[in-house]
Amino acid sequence: MNVYWTDTAVSHLFGIYGYIAQNSLMYAKRMVDKLTRRSEQISMFPMSGRKVPEYELENIREIIEKPYRIIYRIRKDRVDILAVMHGAQLLPENANFT
User: How much is the pLDDT for 96?
Assistant: 62
Do 68 and 38 meet the contact criterion of CB atoms below 8 Å apart? Answer: no
Whether residue 26 has pLDDT greater than 70: yes
Taking only the tens place, the pLDDT of each residue in 31-80 is 999 999 998 999 999 999 999 988 888 999 999 999 999 999 999 999 99
18 pLDDT higher than 90: yes
Domains along the sequence of the chain with CATH? 2-86 (3.30.2310.20)
